[in-house]
């Protein structure tokens, strides 16, 4: 039944069988150049996951507890930037000053089964949190596409999954503890430091360093995951119904194929089934193969892809949701994602597809559409509005400027707010116009970090200028 291996083989074979096109194949691409391993002062290189951000922090710290962290933020050379797992594409983490990781402040710090809450140390990776919560009968209500992030890193950029009734991860934060620039550890929730709680829930590491988070969870459940392919016109027409019918639903448009992969997760009491090894990566490399071999002819590329894809069988697997919602993504890419008013999502997506298929024959990575419920965090891109997201990816060896030139203008015209961790060119004035509470958040920022100890150059342009 596993189909994506078949897809890989079929596409590879079919593309090769097209014959006579070898001369037009995209050449073997070099690795993008790596920055030197140290700078002139012998400071070690830090790089993000995709490789496009880097820095040489003069000072690196891994405090073992809140006390050590509080001393550090008061005395260490700034800018002080917390790092999670470095999976953001924007220059949020780079600093010439102090880079601080909470890798030693990680793990579950108690739970309440009746209230379905858990206290989680902020450096915990989502991949570790899933099984830890499952062991006490809980799960996070939703998860993103990968689980490599630290909890604090994920919350700080409004990381989200998909599902019309499901908020981004920070929407289920009941309280947190924050180390602020003056060396205090503040308890923040709806009643204690309430404005700071609202401002720093999606805080970009600019208000201080999160040390512990109280999450409101749900009881551990199994879900049925289904993946199937269908023509894009059908998916776009069914999208409102799909959203209403499934707990989690998303789709990927496969560029230059006219086809989508639809993915749903729904709660079930059915017994768990074995999860076959993922074939997503084979599928992505197959799309790359089609681009490399047939990119010169969109019509042929589409015909070959459609023919191959139409013969594929759907997938079905049952497991606990923390085991299924997140995936392995070993193929590196750069990404832009905007969150749009729900009604604007499909019109914007249609424009993006049209623009890419007209102007950028080199694009092959699937384009992702998801839905997110509103929340009240002041810097949340989902603040006060039900959202539909559109994410466009570029293979890490490929040019990604088209994201700014072709994709971003469309998404902005449709009222999109960018994912804080993903590529965008917005500055303070843009955010002020898009976020009703942006200035309020900046007022709070000035109170807790008057000297801007947590601001690097990028964040100064976004926050300090507001």
Give the interface with ligand FAD as residue ranges (CB under 6 A).
49, 81-88, 92-93, 102, 122, 144-146, 149-150, 152-154, 156-157, 159-160, 204-205, 209-210, 329, 419, 421
Of residues 282, 260, 279, 405, the one with CA closest to residue 336? 405
Of residues 357, 369, 395, the one with CA closest to residue 281? 395
Closest separation between CB of residue 46 and ligand FAD, Å?
10
Closest separation between CB of residue 138 and ligand FAD, Å?
21
Of residues 176, 250, 171, 158, the one with CA closest to residue 213? 176
Closer to ligand FAD by CB, 160 or 291: give it.
160
Read out DSSP for 316-371?
A: EEEEEHHHHSS----S-EEEEEEEEEGGGHHHHHHHHHHHHHHH-TT--SPEEEEE
Task: List all residues 6 or more positions away from 359 whose beta carbon is below 8 Å from its beta carbon.
Answer: 402, 406
Closer to ligand FAD by CB, 50 or 260: give it.
50
Closest separation between CB of residue 327 and ligand FAD, Å?
9
CB count within 10 Å of CB 21 equals 16
| Whole-number Å distance between alpha carbons of 60 and 246 | 44
Closer to ligand FAD by CB, 261 or 305: give it.
261
Distinct helix (H) and strand (E) counts, the chain: 15, 20
CB count within 10 Å of CB 24 equals 12
Closest separation between CB of residue 308 and ligand FAD, Å?
26
Closer to ligand FAD by CB, 14 or 456: give it.
456
Closest separation between CB of residue 281 and ligand FAD, Å?
12
Closest separation between CB of residue 118 and ligand FAD, Å?
17
Closer to ligand FAD by CB, 53 or 286: give it.
53
Closer to ligand FAD by CB, 229 or 325: give it.
325
Closest separation between CB of residue 62 and ligand FAD, Å?
12
Read out DSSP for 258-321?
A: TEEEEEEEEEE-SPP---PPP-HHHHHHHHHHHHHHHTT-HHHHHHHHHHHHTTPPPEEEEEEH
Closer to ligand FAD by CB, 60 or 361: give it.
60
Q: How far is CA 46 from CA 38, 75, 287, 326, 448, in A?
A: 9, 22, 31, 26, 27
Closer to ligand FAD by CB, 14 or 159: give it.
159
Closest separation between CB of residue 10 and ligand FAD, Å?
26
Task: List all residues 6 or more positions away from 232 whose beta carbon is below 8 Å from its beta carbon.
Answer: 253, 258, 259, 260, 353
Closest separation between CB of residue 319 and ligand FAD, Å?
18
Closer to ligand FAD by CB, 49 or 251: give it.
49
Structure tokens at 261: 């992969």
What spatial distance separates the first Cα and last Cα of the chain, rounded to whole Å? Answer: 54
Of residues 358, 354, 385, the one with CA closest to residue 372? 385
């Amino acid at each position: 039944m596993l189909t994506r291996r078949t897809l890989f083989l079929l596409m590879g074979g079919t593309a090769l069988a097209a014959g006579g096109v070898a001369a037009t194949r995209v050449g073997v691409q070099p690795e993008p150049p790596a920055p030197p391993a140290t700078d002139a002062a012998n400071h070690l290189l830090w790089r993000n996951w995709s490789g496009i951000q880097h820095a040489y922090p003069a000072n690196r710290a891994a405090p073992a507890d809140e006390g050590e962290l509080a001393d550090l933020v008061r005395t260490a050379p700034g800018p002080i930037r917390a790092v999670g797992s470095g999976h953001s594409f924007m220059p949020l983490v780079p600093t010439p000053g102090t880079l601080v990781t909470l890798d030693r402040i990680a793990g579950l710090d108690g739970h309440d089964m009746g209230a379905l809450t858990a206290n989680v140390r902020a450096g915990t990776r989502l991949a570790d949190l899933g099984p830890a919560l499952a062991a006490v009968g809980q799960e996070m209500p939703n998860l993103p596409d990968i689980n490599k992030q630290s909890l604090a890193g994920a919350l700080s950029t409004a990381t989200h999954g998909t599902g019309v009734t499901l908020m981004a991860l920070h929407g289920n934060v009941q309280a947190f503890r924050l180390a602020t620039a003056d060396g205090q550890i503040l308890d923040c929730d709806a009643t204690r430091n309430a404005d700071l709680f609202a401002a720093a829930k999606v805080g970009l590491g600019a208000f201080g360093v999160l040390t512990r988070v109280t999450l409101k969870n749900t009881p551990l459940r199994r879900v049925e995951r289904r993946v199937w392919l269908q023509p894009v016109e059908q998916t776009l027409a069914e999208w409102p119904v799909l959203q209403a019918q499934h707990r989690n639903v998303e789709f990927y448009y496969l560029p230059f194929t006219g086809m989508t992969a639809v993915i749903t997760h729904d709660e079930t009491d059915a017994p768990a089934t074995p999860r076959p090894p993922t074939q997503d990566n084979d599928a992505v490399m197959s799309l790359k193969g089609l681009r490399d071999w047939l990119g010169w002819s969109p019509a042929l590329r589409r015909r070959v892809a459609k023919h191959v894809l139409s013969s594929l069988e759907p997938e079905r697997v049952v497991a606990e949701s923390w085991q299924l919602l997140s995936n392995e993504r070993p193929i590196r890419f750069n990404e832009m994602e905007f969150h749009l008013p729900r009604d604007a999502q499909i019109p914007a997506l249609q424009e993006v597809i049209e623009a890419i298929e007209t102007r950028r024959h080199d694009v092959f990575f699937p384009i992702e559409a998801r839905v997110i419920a509103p929340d009240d965090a002041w810097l949340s891109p989902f603040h006060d509005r039900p959202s539909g997201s559109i994410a466009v990816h570029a293979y890490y060896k490929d040019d990604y400027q088209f994201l700014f030139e072709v994709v971003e203008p469309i998404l902005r015209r449709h009222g999109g707010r960018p994912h804080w961790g993903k590529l965008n060119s917005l500055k303070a004035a843009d955010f002020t116009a898009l976020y009703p509470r942006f200035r309020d958040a900046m007022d709070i920022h000035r109170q807790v970090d008057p000297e801007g100890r947590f601001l690097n150059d990028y964040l100064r342009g976004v926050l300090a200028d507001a």
